[in-house]
Structure 1
């Protein structure tokens, strides 16, 4: 039985994710609706990706029964047990888009682009993780085809009757969202919904 997807937002990442879903078997993944704050954008997105339904609000999509600034900022995080982390992001400077994790057992380097890497170096040992094939598909972001793994993992969890991922539990997703929200507010980035 196919997992029916509703796409929230008609942005570039959503476009790449929808393109990924189109590379997967229709018997397993079907995009049935898209929602955006602007109905015309949702309709254009639906036309581009051959999606049967388009909604002008996220609330409408949820009701669909078929769908389950500073320019450079450094953020310092402190976790229990004396663990520290930092990250730097910029809208004007070109950064490396790599990540390093170091601890008592060594160092791991996640190579560019760290948001969807295909290479990892652990204690000097280089490992490669090729992307799934997406012949003839174009993505807005580097390694967009990697979202295939997310789509398949969601389907696998639902087939097992799980309500959250054992890999990234809901609490971890919420923590990451809270951290990003606090950073956004601290550096003065606002969105239209903030004014309500």
Structure 2
């Protein structure tokens, strides 16, 4: 997707919580996702080879499973290892006809009523965050297998003709719960330059 305007922006994630994931390779210092994952694991897990291998595999999985329409992918991987998850940031040109609440609403039916919360923001004025739960049915021959519920968090702000949509999906609802406040804080690190 992405925005069509000439407005430029920058995000400044807290690197103790969020790891920016290259959208494609080669990128910067890495020719391949394997190189990126190896370098990351050596820094994150310097002393435990077995744990480092697991971390490297997780990093490769994150790099390989990015949302196609995302402008940025960020891996929630706190230094103390208490949780892990992935968030995808999409930047779109603003649709002035839609309210911020409508933009934050999930695109799917939720198993329980979707919850929304509003936050004051130094960048956007206000941020809306919605939470919902998806049940996915996987048809298989003559039967349907019910998969575990998938949690969804969408965090949205609008400013200077752009809409920033930060989303995370996870079957581990406790991971998502831990990510919710950091997602709001991440969105509030955006700086926008419309001087061009």
The TM-score by the shorter chain falls in which range? Answer: under 0.3
Report which of the two structures shows the higher radius of gyration computed on alpha carbons: 1
Larger fraction in helix? 1
Task: Tell me which of the two structures has the higher relative contact order, counting C-alpha pairs closer than 8 angstroms and 6 or more residues apart.
Answer: 2
Larger fraction in strand? 2
Q: TM-score, normalized by length of structure 2?
A: 0.22
